[in-house]
């Protein structure tokens, strides 16, 4: 099992040309099993990596993750950067949801969190002079993403998915890659427990009402009857991805960061909060 997941990562990197030993790599680390696993494997494979932890201020959940990733990076000898979501919005993720909901905006925590993290990760990767940004997205995550976009009528957004995120190259985007793309959540969990990684396995407490969690349950049930259902979804997506058209990239009129609209999702959030 241990050798199998590491081999999958190596094969995915090689097949999709995700990384090179010359790349300056930033690994997005939440403190969870996925990002901790890929941080360990990339370090073992000899890539030049540093880690970034975004403090979302989700109570004890965030504190445990921060403590764990600090300990783990110290043990590996990997430089850890830390940034607070409050530096960008002035609020914690949970407070942001409360404020938005009080104003009639029913945006859920996961949607808010996703927008904020994407913005911060790209901005900090540029600030640190990195050439690649690694995230811990796994096979389950990507199957869920594809189905969510399909069921919510956002098919064009699937162009942003894949082992190498997006189909647009732009100087203001740091290329995001997913070396765990073909590794299932189950095998990553088994690997991280076998390796005794210091991680929190509980769901984020803010995701209780997330559509993703509901869809995850449905796909897990389907997998009991068809063990390859998630892999089938991913393979279908990869086959069809070249036919998907990205909306293209522009720059936010407020902050100058790349986005597909006049105003990026982060700036819209901040405006709504104030």
* Tens-digit pLDDT profile for residues 170-214: 677 899 999 999 999 999 999 999 999 999 888 887 776 678 888
Query: At 154, is the pLDDT very low, low, confident or very high (cuts 50, 70, 90)?
Result: confident
- Which residues neighbour 88 within 8 Å (Cβ) at sequence distance 6 or greater? 116, 119, 120, 266, 270
Give the pLDDT band of residue 81 (cuts 50, 70, 90).
Answer: very high
- Asked if 139 contacts 231 with a C-beta cutoff of 8 angstroms, the reply is yes
Q: Sketch the domain layout of the chain as residue ranges.
A: 2-273
CATH of 2-273, one of 3.40.50.720, 3.40.50.620, 3.20.20.70, 3.40.50.300: 3.40.50.620
What radius of gyration do the chain's Cα atoms show? Answer: 18
Give the confidence band of 105 by pLDDT, cuts at 50, 70, 90. Answer: confident
In this structure, are residues 178 and 135 in contact, taking their beta carbons and an 8 Å threshold?
yes
> Which residues does residue 83 pair with via DSSP β-bridges, in sequence order?
54
Question: What's the confidence (pLDDT) of residue 168?
Answer: 57
Extended strands (E) in 67-212: 80-84, 132-134, 175-177
Q: If pLDDT is split at 50, 70 and 90, which confidence band does 218 have?
A: very high
Per-residue model confidence (pLDDT) at position 259:
82
Is the per-residue pLDDT at 236 higher than 80? yes
Closest residue by Cα to residue 133 from 206, 38, 210: 38
């Amino acid at each position: 099992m241990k050798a199998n997941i590491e081999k999958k990562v190596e094969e995915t990197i090689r097949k999709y040309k995700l990384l090179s030993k010359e790349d300056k790599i930033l690994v997005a680390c939440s403190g969870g099993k996925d990002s901790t696993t890929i941080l360990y494997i990339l370090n073992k494979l000899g890539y030049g990596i540093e880690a970034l932890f975004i403090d979302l201020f989700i109570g004890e959940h965030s504190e445990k993750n921060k403590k764990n990733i600090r300990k783990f990076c110290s043990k590996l000898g990997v430089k850890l950067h830390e940034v607070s979501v409050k530096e960008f919005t002035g609020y914690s993720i949970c407070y942001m949801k409360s404020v938005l909901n009080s104003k009639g905006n029913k945006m859920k925590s996961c949607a808010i969190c996703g927008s904020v993290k994407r913005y911060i990760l790209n901005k900090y990767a540029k600030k640190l002079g990195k050439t690649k940004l690694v995230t811990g997205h796994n096979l389950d995550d990507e199957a869920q993403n594809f189905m969510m976009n399909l069921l919510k009528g956002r098919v064009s957004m699937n162009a942003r998915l894949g082992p190498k995120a997006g189909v647009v190259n732009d100087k203001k985007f740091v290329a995001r890659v997913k070396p765990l793309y073909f590794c299932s959540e189950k095998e990553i969990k088994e690997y991280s427990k076998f390796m005794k990684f210091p991680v929190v396995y509980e769901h984020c407490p803010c995701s209780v009402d997330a559509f993703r969690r509901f869809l995850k349950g449905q796909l897990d049930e389907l997998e009991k009857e068809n063990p390859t259902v998630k892999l089938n979804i991913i393979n279908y997506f990869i086959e069809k991805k070249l036919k998907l058209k990205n909306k293209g990239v522009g720059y936010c009129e407020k902050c100058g960061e790349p986005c597909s609209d006049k105003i990026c999702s982060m700036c819209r959030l901040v405006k709504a909060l104030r």
